[in-house]
Amino acid sequence: MSESNLNMAAEHSAAMEPSPYAIPSRKLAMWLFILSDACTFGALLFAYGYLRTASPDWPTPFKFNPSILNVIIMTVVLITSSLTMLGAVDASKASDKSKTMRWLGLTMVLGAIFAMLHLREWAGMIHEGVRLFQNPWGSSLFGASFFSITGLHLMHVVSGVVAMAVVGRGYSRGSLTAGHVESTGLYWHFVDLVWMFVVPLVYLMNVSR
């Protein structure tokens, strides 16, 4: 190796260092995004807890039918979509394009069903008179916290479905890799994980008796 090549290698050695966690930088970036997003949802849920604790007239409007029943169906749909996403990730790792696309498509359909059920739930609440800063039952901040938390989650679901469509298209054309499918999968599982906290704290803590 010539001296100039050696100098160049020395200059770029930092860039060629192996990953400290033996994972691609794309995956590390997705994990860092997920953890920062977890703090965002955490802050929202803590703010909601603050308001709920400080308000003696916090409403408990969620009846088993239709609200809680709807939430149970949404939960089953979302957890099932995580399972189908795992199918897509595993199939892409095995370079099986047709299976990857099939699983991704199924996950997108389940995500879309979840979003539609969520909008149905919102429509029901709005029909009952819940607005951002007013509702027929009690603390006026109930609507703001309910729509903020579930709205942010719904936005994540819709973004995930769009991301899956984009990544699926790129993967089927060969411009994106299995690593992209895996990163999208990580995001989708996170959306599922957040829902596991939203359901008990926002819905089940406020069931109507």
Using the minimum distance from each CB to another protein, give the nearer residue, 64 or 162: 64
Binder of another protein out of 4, 5, 53, 98 (CB under 8 A): 53
Calculate helix-pair angle for 178-198, 25-54, nearest 10 degrees.
10
18 contacts another protein (rule: CB under 8 A): no
Side-chain half-sphere exposure of 2, counting CA atoms within 13 A: 3
Give the one residue of 7, 9, 46, 123 binding another protein; rule: CB under 8 A.
Answer: 46
Backbone angles phi, psi at 98, to 5 degrees: -65, -40
Stretch that binds another protein, among 50-58, 114-122, 150-158, 161-169 (CB under 8 A): 50-58
Measured from the CB atom, is 12 or 63 closer to another protein? 63
Q: 171, 181 in Cβ contact below 8 A?
A: yes
Type of residue numbered 66:
P
User: How far is residue 192's CA from residue 149's CA, in Å, rounded to a whole number?
Assistant: 14
One residue of 96, 102, 112, 137 binding another protein per CB under 8 A: 96
For 51, the token pair is 């308001």
Tell me which DSSP letter residue 206 carries: G
**5-13, 72-80, 125-133, 140-148 -> range binding another protein (CB under 8 A):** 72-80
CA distance 154 to 160: 10
Contacting positions for another protein (CB under 8 A): 20-24, 31-32, 35, 38-39, 42-43, 46-47, 49-51, 53-56, 64, 68, 72, 75-76, 79-80, 82-84, 86-87, 90-96, 99, 177-179, 182, 186, 189-190, 192-193, 196-197, 199-201, 204-205, 207
